């Protein structure tokens, strides 16, 4: 792919995928790119525009909403308001999925966390947007049950990372590609062609302040990776930003693993399966990595509810496999 390739050009040259045409791909990803550009501006200007802090409400999963959470959801909804191929959107910020189009062309469903890591908004730390696209398998009136598909059914998935630069990463089942926003021309430009996650890494990302509440398998894994053993490159280094997108992106580029297991108070962990974990698991696998609940492939899990939570370990394949072994031994 030539240097300076824009996202739109890349989508045209990418061609059809899974029996859909390039036009469908553009119709799905160009609104994501638009939302990413708008949110990059909103995040950049939030402190000056009085948009930091709490909004005063809880979202659908019981988390306190930040002002940027609400803005992020509105931005994504607005970006898809004229997208005739998306029938409905399931969002972390919405109690129930929302109908977007009743057109006969509305063959897809969008699952999204509009602003991942919103606890970082007030401290100028990384944020993200997560998205996954599912295919509708029936026509007529939209039902929330249509969203309850395993991640293996995703036809497109990715994220936008708002950090030192704004980066859009996506997969349609044929590799993973990243595009950096060139603010000077207002375009996402190819910067990371065919991202490949190292088979193993020496980084782990986890909210270790909760480690005493975790099960024996998790604690034994952490004891192992933090032991000093020069021949195997241990101890591993802890890197944790509080934004899943940012921590996974580091793992994809440098190797390593992010984990968020369950605990007695939250046996299924904190993160949501449908619009956080499954899309990122799809990206990780397409980059040569892996994603697990700790006891099996995450993409095989069928959600029972739109806001279902799941434990997760995601990143380099060897790191995830080792984690599963410790979990099996308990």
Within its chain, how far is the Cα of 277 from the centroid? Answer: 6
DSSP-based three-state secondary structure for 244: helix
Measured distance CA(89)–CA(33) in Å, rounded: 16
pLDDT category at 18 given cuts 50, 70, 90 is very low
Collect all residues with Cβ–Cβ distance below 8 Å to 202 and sequence separation of at least 6: 233, 234, 236, 237, 255, 256
- How large is the average pLDDT for residues 147-163? 97
Q: 314 has which bridge partners?
A: 258, 291
Question: pLDDT, tens digit, for every residue of 279-330?
Answer: 999 999 999 999 999 999 999 999 999 999 999 999 999 999 999 999 999 8
Q: Among residues of the chain, what percentage have pLDDT more than 90?
A: 79
pLDDT of residue 250 exceeding 90:
yes
- Catalytic site positions: 63, 69, 92-93, 113, 115-116, 276
Cα separation, 202 vs 240, whole angstroms: 13
Residue 25 pLDDT grade (very low, low, confident, very high; cuts 50, 70, 90): confident
Which residue, among 137, 136, 138, 119, has the nearest Cα to 128 in the 3D structure?
119
Cα 215 from chain centre? 25
Place of tokens 């061609």: 15
Q: Write out pLDDT tens, residues 118-142.
A: 889 899 999 999 999 999 988 888 9
- What SS3 class is residue 218? helix
Strand segments, DSSP code E, in 47-196 are: 54-58, 64-66, 86-91, 98-99, 108-116, 127-135, 156-162, 166-171, 176-182, 187-192
Separation between Cα atoms, residue 178 and residue 305, nearest integer Å:
31
Determine contact, residues 314/290, Cβ cutoff 8 Å.
Answer: yes
Average pLDDT of the chain?
Answer: 93
pLDDT recorded at residue 2: 61
Q: Which domains does the chain have, with CATH numbers?
A: 7-192 (3.30.540.10), 203-329 (3.40.190.80)
Tokens at residue 234, please? 């241990």
């Amino acid at each position: 792919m030539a240097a300076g390739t824009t996202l739109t050009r890349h989508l045209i040259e990418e061609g059809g995928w899974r029996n859909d045409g390039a036009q469908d791909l553009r119709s799905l990803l160009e609104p994501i790119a638009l939302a990413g550009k708008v949110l990059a501006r909103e995040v950049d200007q939030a402190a000056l525009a009085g948009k930091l802090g709490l909004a005063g409400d809880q979202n659908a999963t019981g988390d306190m909403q930040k002002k940027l959470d609400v803005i992020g959801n509105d931005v994504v909804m607005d970006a898809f308001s004229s997208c005739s191929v998306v029938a409905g959107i399931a969002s972390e910020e919405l109690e129930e999925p929302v109908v977007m189009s009743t057109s006969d062309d509305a063959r897809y469903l969008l699952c999204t966390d509009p602003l991942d890591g919103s606890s970082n908004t007030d401290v100028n730390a990384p944020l993200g947007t997560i998205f996954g696209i599912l295919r509708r398998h029936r026509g007529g009136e939209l039902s929330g049950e249509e969203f309850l598909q395993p991640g293996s059914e995703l036809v497109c998935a990715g994220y936008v990372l708002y950090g030192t630069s704004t980066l859009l990463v996506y997969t349609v089942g044929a590799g993973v590609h990243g595009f950096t926003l060139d603010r000077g021309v207002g375009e996402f430009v190819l910067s990371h062609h065919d991202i490949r996650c190292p088979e193993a890494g020496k980084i782990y990302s986890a909210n270790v302040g909760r480690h005493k509440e975790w099960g024996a398998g998790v604690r034994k894994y952490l004891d192992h990776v933090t032991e000093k053993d020069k021949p195997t490159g241990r101890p591993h280094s802890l890197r944790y930003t509080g934004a899943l997108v940012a921590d996974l992106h580091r793992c994809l580029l440098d190797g390593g693993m992010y984990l968020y297991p369950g605990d007695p108070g939250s046996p299924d962990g904190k993160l949501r399966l449908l619009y956080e974990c499954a899309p990122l698991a799809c990206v990780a696998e397409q980059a040569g990595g892996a994603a697990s609940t700790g006891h099996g492939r995450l993409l095989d899990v069928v959600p029972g509810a739109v806001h279902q939570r799941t434990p997760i370990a995601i990143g380099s394949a060897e790191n995830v496999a080792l984690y599963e072994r410790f979990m099996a031994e308990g």
